[in-house]
Structure 1
Amino acid sequence: MGGLTFVDVCSGAGGMALGLEQAGFESRLLLDDDEVAVQTLKINRPQWNVLRTDLRDFDPVEHPESYDVDLLAAGLPRVRSSATARRVDSGLEEQLLKATVYLVHAIKPRAVLIENVPELTHADSHGAFREFARTELDHLGYTFSRFVMNAVDFGVPQNRKHGVLVAVRRQWAEAFRPPASTLSEPVTVGTALRSSMAARGWVDAAHWAAQADQPAPTLVGGSKNRGGADLGPTRAKKKWATMGVNAHTVGDRVPGPDFVWDPELGRDNMVKLTVEQAALLQGFPSTWQICGLKTARYRQVGHATPPPVGKALGRAVAEALNSDSLASAAG
């Protein structure tokens, strides 16, 4: 399934792009408007063509490498959902959604992939955008589909649901199938983080890992207008507490050999997850570097599309786009 190319917009920390790379795609262009995210992309993949720009200002005429690609991928900033109902609505997220659809007009990829909150696929509040996207893409010759997938079903140690909009040119659309899980049971927080918790000689790492016997709740990156890093809303913090984790902050380093872990004594005796550990819970490899100060680094991780999700979606798109050549070979 090699030889396929993609453009990735609003690339962030590179989770979607990394997953597509793992699925056999080659990047033509990545873009993001955040300086620190662009640094993250460049330090991990110096060979990637990375552009710092606002998607709404992007002109593909100035970047001809964006034409004739197989896939346009967009892990866009999250639109409002039930979890962010109190957020002040700037309209930016919806503008970026429309900008992605308009970009399809210009570069005409064989497939389009938009990843966001589950509500984007079904909530009445996003019905106008879905109809706009379906109408525009149908006019351009694409078949539009939507579905929800959970990262935990693809090896990510986290319950994290994704709303996915896919548009495939009609020639290949019938062959597209949403990714199906192949896991028999989920990866737990303890399994994912036991080695890192023991990295500085903490003797209770195995004991802690045994208690952290479930996937993580959804990590939330927060906004630039919000305060410091934490692991999510009140319900998520309570879930973390059952695993002996202080979710009200993000740690600077893993516990040392003398750390006393006793959740009954309160937050000070619970472990704090580091940015690097949060990245592991998002399915990033341990070698992936996140640039910036702690809050900015955690924000990039929390906003990222988990690479295993990108990989699963990439494979599904690749199978559809290669279906004509496979059929020809079989004939």
Structure 2
Amino acid sequence: MGNLTFVDVCSGAGGLALGLEQAGFEPRLLLDEEELAVTTLRTNRPLWNVLHTDLLDFDPAEHPVSHDVDLLAAGLPRVRSSATAHRVDTGLEERLLEAAVYLVHAIRPRAVLIENVPELVHSDIHQLFRDFVHAELDHLGYVAHWLVMNAVDFGVPQNRKHGVLVAVRHEWAEAFRLPVPTVREPITVGTALGPSMAARGWTDAARWAAQADRPAPTLVGGSKNRGGADLGPSRAKEKWATMGVNAHTVGDEIPGPDFVWDPELGREHMVKLTVEQAALVQGFPATWQISGRKTARYRQVGHATPPPVGKALGLAVAEALKQ
């Protein structure tokens, strides 16, 4: 068997697709409705077949290359959860979930991977969706597995939980095993960002990194309807502050040689993470380029599936399909 193939919908900045590539999968087609996300994907992987379209408008019949693939993957916009309690609920996220499942009828992949919030797996408010999944996929011959993963267990310097559906056709279903954590000890913010903090000659970078001795809280991308970028809700900002990070904004550049880091003097004497550093916290390689202006770039990063999570899931699916 050669490289396994996949279609990725709502691809965003490419975190899930990159992880699947690292796991040995080859993309047949990726799609996203956001023009900047499409530019990000094409910039980093010029040879990828990237379509600028809304999932709700996507017709697989017009794109035969999407048929007969090994995996249909979807890191979809987040549905209702405790983290989005104050969001205006339009039902769009739930419709995208259903659209991804309906695609299975047309594409008939050997496996399906949908990543979203952990509440998708266990919350009563999403029971109807779980019932819908089983009603649609069971009779097509898929066995569904629901799991919650924390990105920190897979080398991402961030506590970030994911709700995941993996559905495998019955021929390979018994061979599927849940991903096993790849690190024994969490990677800390200081370890992940220390080198970049020192890149412009900031003499206090090592001292800052030594006290940033734990994983980050969950990065939140934020809504397009909000103002500028920040690193998350109030509780997350408080956790960042304990590491000497001003999470109320995203920085334009890393500290220079003369920056005075003294959190007791207030926010302006705390470090600010740049978009590039936020991408490192998400597990992207430093070479991955995010397109757009600062706020739009940060939102792409914050909404992404960390590539190491995608890789772990891809390896687990590949192991089953190669049996």
TM range (shorter): over 0.9
SS in 1 for 2:196: helix
2:267 is matched with 267
Between the aligned partners of 2:96 and 2:141, the Cα distance in structure 1 is 22
Query: Partner letter of residue 309 of structure 1?
Result: V
Query: Partner letter of residue 135 of structure 2?
Result: T
SS in 1 for 2:166: strand
1:160 is matched with 160
- Give the drift of 1:306: 0.3
Query: Partner letter of residue 61 of structure 1?
Result: A
Matched, 1:33 2:36: no
Identity within the alignment, %? 81
Report if the CA contact (8 A) 1:5-1:28 is conserved. yes
1:121 is matched with 121
Between the aligned partners of 1:27 and 1:2, the Cα distance in structure 2 is 13
1:292 is matched with 292
1:24-56 superposed Cα distances (whole Å, 9 cap, x missing partner): 000000000000000000000000000000001
2:213 is matched with 213
Query: Partner letter of residue 71 of structure 1?
Result: L
Between the aligned partners of 1:75 and 1:177, the Cα distance in structure 2 is 20
1:200 is matched with 200
SS in 2 for 1:258: coil
SS in 2 for 1:148: strand
Between the aligned partners of 1:214 and 1:41, the Cα distance in structure 2 is 31
Q: What value does the CA root-mean-square deviation take over the aligned residues?
A: 0.7
1:169-212 superposed Cα distances (whole Å, 9 cap, x missing partner): 00000111110113110000000000100011000000000010
1:326 is matched with none
Between the aligned partners of 2:174 and 2:301, the Cα distance in structure 1 is 34
SS in 2 for 1:78: coil
SS in 2 for 1:132: helix
SS in 1 for 2:114: strand
Report if the CA contact (8 A) 1:2-1:25 is conserved. no
- 1:42-191 paired onto structure 2 within 5 Å: 42-191=42-191
SS in 2 for 1:243: coil
SS in 2 for 1:6: strand
Report if the CA contact (8 A) 1:2-1:24 is conserved. no
Unaligned 5+ residue runs, structure 1? 324-331
Provide TM-score, normalisation by structure 2: 0.99
1:276 is matched with 276
Provide TM-score, normalisation by structure 1: 0.97
- Indicate how the Cα distance of structure 1 residues 254 and 167 shifts in structure 2: closer, same or farther if over 3 A, else same: same
- Give the drift of 1:86: 1.1
SS in 2 for 1:72: strand
Unaligned 5+ residue runs, structure 2? none
SS in 1 for 2:302: helix
SS in 1 for 2:249: coil
Query: Partner letter of residue 220 of structure 1?
Result: V
